[in-house]
Structure 1
Amino acid sequence: MIRNTSSLLAGVAVGAALWTMPAMAQDAPVADNATAGGLEDIIVTARKRQESVQDVPVAVTAISAELVQRQDLTSIEKIAARTPNLNVGRASNGSGAQLTLRGIGSSSTSIGIEQSVAVVVDGVYYGQGRIINEGFFDLARVEILKGPQALFFGKNATAGVISLTSADPTSTPEFKARAGYEFKAQQAQLEFVGSGPLTDTLGLRVAVRGSKMWGGYYRNVAAPFDYPTIDVATGATGTALANPAPVDQPGERELLGRVTLKWEPTDRLTATLKASGTYNKTNNNSWNYVAFNCPNGGVSQLNGYACARDFVTHQNRIPAAFAGPTPFVNDDGDLYNRYKSWAVTANVNYELDNVTLTSVTNYNWNNNRWACACDFQSSPASNWATENSTYHAFSSEFRALTTFDSPVNLMLGGLYQKTKRDFDQYIILAGLVNSAAAPEDQYLATRKTSFTDGETIALFGQATWKIVPTLELAGGVRYTHETKDSFFTQPYNNPGVTAIFRPQDDPDGLGVINADQTFRNWSPEVSLTWKPTSDILVYGAYKTAYKSGGFSNGGINSKLSTNPFDDLTFDPERAAGFEAGIKTTLADNQLRLNLGAYSYLYKDLQVDFFNSPIFAFQTLTADARTKGVELEFEYAPRSVEGLNLHGSINYNRARYTDFPQAPCYAGQSIAQGCSIVLADGGVRQNLEGKPLSVAPRWTGTIGAAYDSSMGNGLKIGLNADLRYSSSYLASGFGNPLSRQGRYATLDAGVRIGSDDDRWEFALIGKNLTNRFYVTGVVDGPSTGGASGGLVAAPADQLGFGNVPRTVMAQITTRF
């Protein structure tokens, strides 16, 4: 019954969308008042000041609060799924995500690597991949800034910025309740927003959202199996039953909340305090891993299941016999991912006659725990692990912006940030048991503990010079001084793995790794803007950016490695290049056309991989270039009130320019290029000129929206958006089996409500083409053969899959 209902609603959504004559998915938001005809001005804060999107020398995609609500764009993944050139891969462990923009992203396998695509929430930098577990709802706007953004956005934004701004209290009382039901995952969702003034100068906004799935997006079709065990203390062998994880995954439960106080005692002073929290739990942290391409006749080398580009996985619980004493897993051995966070942000804005002072202070904390089937496709040769990691950060930023009636104005500021990450991991491997060990270690092969304390001090400034009224030159620089003090050890190793893992009390003194790292950087940028008329802007910019080096807290202290310090540490990443464009508003404010081109060189791009000959995770650095052209349009004809057509087409070429000793993919032969032999016995390949991971050459969007009155106090809204991607390699190491073919996804919706917005009923459809695609990949553990041989022995390709077709019915009431 549910499947039939879902198909019916999908058909209604598609039919409604086609009725609107769709043209390209949006790279610009639907106007807040589309029924008036013509384009609405879009305000962004790309330069930490309020400006029209057509007046900033930055390539920026802006999404309005109305569009966020209309299409339920309430997570980083949902935003990426309809934004060209932006991809998000959800990973089980490591950093938890791979965010990629214009072909530049950060490996997901290391928790210590911060994302090259920075996420900024209410003016605060969040660089951790686990940010994708946050739910972002009740937003005022979303801005996606493409290319290096060092000057205005904290740090580490070498590829771009996703900036999210939550809604503030309203000047009049407003109460909104929303209930939704998504048919594929059988997910119920409830949301409440209350907003309004408490006094003449103090406003309050409270927003709460909760959801629960009774089903899931993916089907787990694993069967139970007996897991072979051996007790190294007694030599006894046996088996332990590993039952399947739940069929429907991820079975998510989520609770989000935010409280905002806004105080405006005078027309000069505005102080805003926001406190937010997130709780998110799923029944598996690797629920979206799919064996999508297997070279062994389309059958998994690990467990014999058929491999397919589909929303199906095969994963088993931790055997109950192992589960009880193992930290962070319950007695049944359930797999899970549990994410908790809270944050407090204070934003103070004080306007003098010619100077605006701004202060943003934040403290944020998150904890992520999981139990993982860490082969991602389970079998009697499987391994499992649990992890508990905590991250917290305090930051304070101060800026002064002058607005003198003179050709020259200044922006000056500083940032201080203090961070700490604590990390513990517990690994079950090869059926190893040690009855002589402490109870919590008896079923472990090894465990890790690590921490990193970080401190950042940055100073930044910009001068803008109006050479003539139509020509502006802006130049600025950010200086960053950053330290990271880190610790790593493996305090317990089962005697069965002492030939692989270095013990904490290693006689060579390498069992405990301490790293005191210091990084310094100057990141300048300059832009020239010419505005010959109020409707045309031409700009060119030279930009640089920097992402600090760091420490891989989740690495391995391999006994086979001669330098574990180098395995666990990595160098900073830098970017520099040019961008130019023209932004126009034409046809009596009915047509917006923007064209941009860019070319950026990345030095020491951070690339993480597992070095199997020495059994160690290592972060290497490579040089790369990304260059391309982007065209976007938006058309809102006055002759058809309420109609908005929008779209974009993007060409991007992202290639390694220097990676002479790149890792080989699993089973790569000498003839396939894995022919460089290192002193430690490892083999490598030269990837110069080869494509980066998740870097499609062509992406495009086309879409339409239509809002109209139906009479009798009713109105209707329709929208459809198509997103296209050409093919790309999901692997960063040139594995041809990782190729994701070209695809297109369709989102569409229909809304009927009252003219006074008292109520609205909506159907929201996403990925109505039900296309499966991957946005990241790993070589399947325990599959494939050694690299650098005469005969190729490729591994199964396990990809981070997307969400299938979903249709949500949603009702909203305001009172």
Structure 2
Amino acid sequence: MALATGTAHAADGAPQQEAPQTGAPAAPLSEATQQDIIVTASKRAQNVQDVPVAVTAVAEEKFQSLNITNTANLAALAPGIVFVPAPNPNNLQFVVRGIGTYSTVDTLEQSVGVAIDGIPLGRIAGAIVDAVDVARVEVLRGPQGTLFGKSATAGLVSVVTNKAKLGQTEAIGRVYYGENDEFRVQGTVNLPIGDKVALRLSAWDFSRDGYIIAPKQADGNIGDFHNWGVRARLALEVTPNWRIDANAEYSRNTNDGVLQTTRAYMPNDFIALPGARTIAQINASMGIVPGPLNKAVGSEVPIGGFVTPEFYHVESNWDFGDVTLTSITGYRHIRSSQVSEYDYSASEPGSFTTYLHYKSDTDQFTSELRLANGSGNAFKYTLGLFYYNLDVNNSSFEQTARNVPSLPGPYFATGRFPVSTMNTKNYAAFADLNYDIGPVTLIGGARLSHEVSYGTFNRTLPRDGAAAEGGADTSIYIPGQTVAGYTPLSVASSITYDDFSWRGGAQFKASKDIMFYATASRAYKGPGFNFASDLTPVIFAQTRSIVKPEIAHSYEIGMRSQFFDRQVTFNLTGYYAPYKDFQITAALPGTGGNGLSYTIINAGEIVAKGIEAEFAFNPRGALQGFSLNGDITWNDTKYTDFANAPCYALQPRNPTPTSTPGVCAPPSVGSTASVQSVNGLRTVGNPEWKLNAFAGYDRPVSERLNAFGQLHYYYQSAVQYGVGANPATQAPGYNTVDLTLGIRADDNRWKLSAIGKNIFGQRFVSRLVTNNPGLEQVVPYEAFSSWGAALDVRF
């Protein structure tokens, strides 16, 4: 069932089946879900109701109707997916069906893959895509290893942009203005150049002022952002059966700081010199009051950063009668930089600040060649070869500066400067096979992968005068100082891995509008390296910093159905998926076995299970113009074999070893270290219940004018953001209501909308973490009520 509102779109690289052109006037909200929604979840164009995969397709119209401008807010549009922000753009996290990866290193992949125009992204940085001239975003839930390879053990977010259109001239634009000077302008033009060539150009500029109060920042707040970008797409019809599409895109996304405020102070919230003011006292003097409603920070160092993705790709589709040869080659370069400072005030005598400047540079080259026959055949096949080359370089300049009046110069500092690199090459061959036997289709697929990775880690002391990066004192660094236990370290490691992933099952077409399916599959997430900034020689000696691949098995059943001449749609999916060697942060014994070092290793097992239901009601006759659609998800993903998880801050400690889940205890008799078993507890970023409901109405009010409205209700139950059952990091459930009202031309050439987000001002947080000075919370802009107006035009 498609939640998309707007025109259905043809699939890239799958010319066997046509779909309505994206340049046609968008369908009214009430009519959209009656159309065939075409997706490429199986790398061929298919009606979403015929695909034996849990997939939801979201069209650009849906993003625009809710003023959702990028893929970070997909949770409000599709079942089973949650987005968890992080202090730097390389640690963002999609969670699908309770499975996601949060790590502080670029040398690990994500469990939820992201692909743009058929090209998978090796790292999450740059994957938060601005939704401009997007044909659709497909959210595939569950392991997708056969067709999409590694990095998709939990699911895949596939972004498909519009191709240039031969023989058509069109111009599409949108202007939005809202509270906090939120201003968005975007435009696309499609220009035919003769009969065989077309050029499609898009540009956008999005900005908004900050909303988190920051008395010590130059403009008094943080939370500003400014995103802009340009995209050019070229289409060339070499022959009537051979088409080439090329794409070039550059964008720059900037921000002025992590939206993290203090929810509560810990008893040891601040390490200060005797007699110095604590962070609680310093913040109180600025009027900052910790708590769930706190929207102020005391950071004084200029903070913020940028992500600049560049994307180039060429796609060729060549028809040989009933067979199509498709080639997709792409290059992606992403640079990112983020400066952050914990909520301290180093300018005061006796206080200190922790300054962090994270940089990352990623280069990726991929090439895929596949052969597919037409969808009208009883035996359908897609065969392919794939090559992937990824280079990652990142550094993290970390420094703790203390204002010690008794020492020479104004400051005394300690710190570290870790730099890591990684190169991964992946070679794969894959096949997807379907065989129709009457109403039954047998499903089979396989992917054979060979992967080689090499990585280096080099930690040195900060450079002299490096703290000038913070915009202040060049005298902050005293040569020779270092953080205790984190001496200079230089190591290298490598790993080679071969994998065989597969998928099998069957689907049964009970009638024209009712289909059942059952599938079993295996997928993997590639191995990586634990090059965290606090890597020690002991940890490296134990593991060589190698994190083993994550293996997923999945068993899924589903029903896709429509009734009353497709006026009612109801889809149901059930799943059970054990994950072996799940990549996660955990504890390892330290030197002599009396201490633990927290690092990235493989947990034994996580099991994901749940049920997803999607529905739509699009009546005709007397109720023509009304629509109701949405989804409800129950998810019960838990740890089943993870006995050495870290204890959380201030967790009571049992004096003797125990395997009781949720109890912090020594791993062995006499040990001074502590661990806990979390078996049976829910995973991070994993609400048990999610509900989306959209009600729309679109009716003529005059001969040439329509009025429309849409009400969106979203509910999410409580979420645990820490490993274990830490009551401090469990965020309560919440619900929000969005409202869109407007008028449009009957041919949809223009549309004027008033858009209200979270109109009742329901406050919520999107992440909780314990860190000095206490319990920190990420407060998204969507946690506040906001209104704006949008004008859409199409010629």
TM-score normalised by the shorter chain: which range applies? Answer: 0.7 to 0.9
2:147 and 2:751 mapped to 1: Cα distance? 39
2:484 and 2:269 mapped to 1: Cα distance? 35
Indicate the residue corresponding to 2:399 in structure 1.
428
Q: Describe how 1:357-506 pairs up with structure 2 within 5 A.
A: 357-374=325-342, 380-403=351-374, 407-431=378-402, 445-466=415-436, 468-492=437-461, 495-497=480-482, 499-503=484-488
Indicate the residue corresponding to 2:21 in structure 1.
none
1:391 and 1:663 mapped to 2: Cα distance? 31
Report deviation, 1:730.
Answer: 1.6
Q: 1:756 and 2:747 equivalent?
A: yes
1:797 and 1:143 mapped to 2: Cα distance? 33
2:330 and 2:206 mapped to 1: Cα distance? 27
1:680 and 1:800 mapped to 2: Cα distance? 39
SS of the residue 1:382 aligns to: strand
Indicate the residue corresponding to 1:137 in structure 2.
132
Match for residue 255 of structure 2 among 282, 289, 294: 282
Q: Which amino acid aligns with 1:667?
A: L
Report deviation, 1:707.
Answer: 1.8
Report deviation, 1:293.
Answer: 4.8
CA displacement 1:778-798 (0-9 Å, x = unmatched): 211355xxxxxxxxxxxx244
Report deviation, 1:491.
Answer: 2.3
Report deviation, 1:490.
Answer: 1.1
Match for residue 806 of structure 1 among 783, 786, 794: 786
Report deviation, 1:253.
Answer: 1.3
Report deviation, 1:743.
Answer: 0.8
Match for residue 509 of structure 2 among 531, 534, 537: 531
Indicate the residue corresponding to 1:608 in structure 2.
585
Q: Are the structure 2 counterparts of residues 315 and 38 from structure 1 closer, same or farther at C-alpha, using a change threshold of 3 Å?
A: closer
Q: 1:168 and 2:163 equivalent?
A: yes
CA displacement 1:687-718 (0-9 Å, x = unmatched): 11111011111111111122222214222221
1:113 and 1:404 mapped to 2: Cα distance? 37
Report deviation, 1:800.
Answer: 6.1
Q: Which amino acid aligns with 2:638?
A: R
2:84 and 2:502 mapped to 1: Cα distance? 31
Match for residue 625 of structure 2 among 637, 642, 647: 642
Q: How many residues align?
A: 727
Q: Are the structure 2 counterparts of residues 542 and 718 from structure 1 closer, same or farther at C-alpha, using a change threshold of 3 Å?
A: same
CA displacement 1:421-474 (0-9 Å, x = unmatched): 1112211114389xx9xx9x99662211111111111111122121x2210001
SS of the residue 2:481 aligns to: helix
Report deviation, 1:82.
Answer: 3.7
Q: Are the structure 2 counterparts of residues 376 and 354 from structure 1 closer, same or farther at C-alpha, using a change threshold of 3 Å?
A: farther
Indicate the residue corresponding to 2:524 in structure 1.
546
Report deviation, 1:38.
Answer: 7.7
Q: Are the structure 2 counterparts of residues 717 and 410 from structure 1 closer, same or farther at C-alpha, using a change threshold of 3 Å?
A: same
CA displacement 1:516-550 (0-9 Å, x = unmatched): 11122111111201002111110000011100121
Match for residue 667 of structure 2 among 677, 696, 712: 677
Q: 1:569 and 2:571 equivalent?
A: no
SS of the residue 1:54 aligns to: helix
SS of the residue 1:669 aligns to: coil
1:271 and 1:56 mapped to 2: Cα distance? 27
Q: Which amino acid aligns with 1:549?
A: P
Q: 1:744 and 2:735 equivalent?
A: yes
Q: Are the structure 2 counterparts of residues 206 and 554 from structure 1 closer, same or farther at C-alpha, using a change threshold of 3 Å?
A: farther
Equivalent residues of 1:135, 1:278 under 8 A apart: no
Indicate the residue corresponding to 1:508 in structure 2.
none
Indicate the residue corresponding to 2:701 in structure 1.
710
Q: Are the structure 2 counterparts of residues 663 and 512 from structure 1 closer, same or farther at C-alpha, using a change threshold of 3 Å?
A: same
Indicate the residue corresponding to 1:232 in structure 2.
none
2:266 and 2:297 mapped to 1: Cα distance? 18
Report deviation, 1:399.
Answer: 0.9
CA displacement 1:94-138 (0-9 Å, x = unmatched): 733121111111114333222111111100101422235442311
Match for residue 233 of structure 2 among 257, 260, 263: 260
Equivalent residues of 1:250, 1:282 under 8 A apart: yes
Q: Tell me, which stretches of 5 or more residues in structure 2 are unaligned?
A: 8-25, 272-277, 282-287, 463-478, 655-661
2:585 and 2:759 mapped to 1: Cα distance? 34
1:121 and 1:279 mapped to 2: Cα distance? 17
Q: Which amino acid aligns with 1:578?
A: Y
1:77 and 1:575 mapped to 2: Cα distance? 24
Indicate the residue corresponding to 1:585 in structure 2.
562
Q: 1:216 and 2:210 equivalent?
A: yes
Q: Describe how 1:104-253 pairs up with structure 2 within 5 A.
A: 104-170=99-165, 171-183=167-179, 185-213=180-208, 215-220=209-214, 222=215, 243-244=216-217, 246-253=219-226
Equivalent residues of 1:37, 1:637 under 8 A apart: no
2:628 and 2:483 mapped to 1: Cα distance? 63
Indicate the residue corresponding to 1:625 in structure 2.
607
Match for residue 499 of structure 2 among 509, 521, 524: 521
1:562 and 1:257 mapped to 2: Cα distance? 45
1:296 and 1:491 mapped to 2: Cα distance? 33
The share of aligned pairs that are identical, in percent, is 25
TM-score normalised according to structure 1 size: 0.84
SS of the residue 1:105 aligns to: coil
Equivalent residues of 2:262, 2:294 under 8 A apart: no
Greater Cα shift, 391-400 or 409-418: 409-418
Q: Are the structure 2 counterparts of residues 548 and 680 from structure 1 closer, same or farther at C-alpha, using a change threshold of 3 Å?
A: farther
Q: Which amino acid aligns with 1:373?
A: E
Provide the aligned C-alpha RMSD in A. Answer: 3.0
CA displacement 1:477-534 (0-9 Å, x = unmatched): 111211111111112266333632122xxxxxxx211011112211111120100211
SS of the residue 1:563 aligns to: helix
Equivalent residues of 2:4, 2:32 under 8 A apart: no
2:691 and 2:634 mapped to 1: Cα distance? 9
Equivalent residues of 1:744, 1:769 under 8 A apart: no
1:776 and 1:398 mapped to 2: Cα distance? 40
Q: Which amino acid aligns with 2:299?
A: N
1:725 and 1:360 mapped to 2: Cα distance? 38
Equivalent residues of 1:281, 1:338 under 8 A apart: yes
2:723 and 2:316 mapped to 1: Cα distance? 43
Q: Are the structure 2 counterparts of residues 154 and 133 from structure 1 closer, same or farther at C-alpha, using a change threshold of 3 Å?
A: same
Report deviation, 1:739.
Answer: 1.2
Indicate the residue corresponding to 1:20 in structure 2.
none
Q: Which amino acid aligns with 1:487?
A: T
1:460 and 1:29 mapped to 2: Cα distance? 34
CA displacement 1:155-203 (0-9 Å, x = unmatched): 21011111110112234211123221121x3122221211131121111
Greater Cα shift, 33-42 or 444-453: 33-42
Q: Which amino acid aligns with 1:529?
A: Q
Equivalent residues of 1:149, 1:545 under 8 A apart: yes
Equivalent residues of 1:571, 1:621 under 8 A apart: no
Match for residue 512 of structure 1 among 473, 479, 490: 490
Report deviation, 1:567.
Answer: 7.5
Indicate the residue corresponding to 2:15 in structure 1.
none
Q: Are the structure 2 counterparts of residues 646 and 377 from structure 1 closer, same or farther at C-alpha, using a change threshold of 3 Å?
A: farther
Match for residue 307 of structure 2 among 339, 360, 363: 339
Indicate the residue corresponding to 2:292 in structure 1.
309
Match for residue 53 of structure 2 among 58, 61, 67: 58
